[in-house]
Each structure stands twice: as C-alpha cells, then as structure tokens.
Structure 1
Amino acid sequence: MNQTRRKSLQKLLDQLQPLEPVIEEMRYDIEALKDEEQEYLDAMPDGISESARGEAANAAIEALEEAMELLQQVQSDVVEATGKVEEAMA
C-alpha cells in the first residue's frame, strides 16, 4: 500500500476509534433511563400499572432495551471495522 492510501486509512481510523467509547456511553445512558422507567413502573399500584400509563411505561422499557441491543451491534461493528482498517494498513 502506498503512503497516500495509508494516510487516508489512518484518517479513517482516527475517525473510527473515538466512536466506540461514545457508543458505550450512549448505551450506559439509555440503560440508566430504562432502569428509572422500570423503577417507575414497579412503584405503580397494580391498577395503574395495568392501565394505559403502565402499558406506556412497558413500551418505553421495551424500546429502550431494543435501542441498547442495536447500539451493542453498532459498537461491535465499529470494533470490527476498526480492526479491518488496521489489518489493511499492516
């Protein structure tokens, strides 16, 4: 690989590497919000937890869990892409 392409790959690598900790922080923040919503739901009396408010809280919890799973996949993909760029530079 020539120097020009290697520099271009390094630039890409420099952009990729900071993404993983940002994604990790986002997952942590979403998890904290999900936990708060779960605590809110758990504190509801039975009658309210089975009402529209309870259903909305459940839906929010499920959506946040899905968001966390998707971000986990994105994080894994970023790590894999970083590895592949590093491999190409070797």
Structure 2
Amino acid sequence: VAWAFLGLDGSLSTLFVEPGFRGRGLGKWVAGRVLGGLGAFTAEGRRWCHADVLVGNEEGEGVVRALGGREGWVVYWVRVDLGEV
C-alpha cells in the first residue's frame, strides 16, 4: 500500500501511498524507514539526505516537513534536443 525508492545518489526519489491509505502517516513511516538506513552523507557532524519534491506537491512537501526536512534549494530540469544544438 506504500513504497519508496532511493536514487543512486541516496535521494528519496519516489514515495507513493495508495489513495485509500493516505492520511494515516504511512508515507512518513516508509520514508523514515528507508532514509533511516542511510549514513553515508554527513555534514557538520550531522547525517542528512535529500528528496526532490515537485514544486506545488503539497502532500510531498508535508511528508518532508513531518520528517523534519526543509527546503534547501529549487532545481529546474531542462530538456535539450541535442540534434538542435
């Protein structure tokens, strides 16, 4: 009913909870379990990780805040047709 995937860089790249099970804290629990196993990234003596959340994804932003996360930067993805460059 809920799952998460880590990216190759250790980021939380996918988090999904089936609609009928949302609002029960499952997303927070799954994300916490997946991210809790990470320890490779340290800065200033603290463990950290990151997640890419689409701007405006209020549910995703809420899960990140519930885990104690905060916005650190905004990323823009650009598609370039290399045949046109």
TM-score (norm 2): 0.28
Determine which structure has greater relative contact order: mean sequence separation of CA pairs < 8 Å that are 6+ residues apart, divided by chain length. Answer: 1
The structure number with the bigger radius of gyration is: 1
- The structure richer in strand per residue is 2
- The structure richer in helix per residue is 1
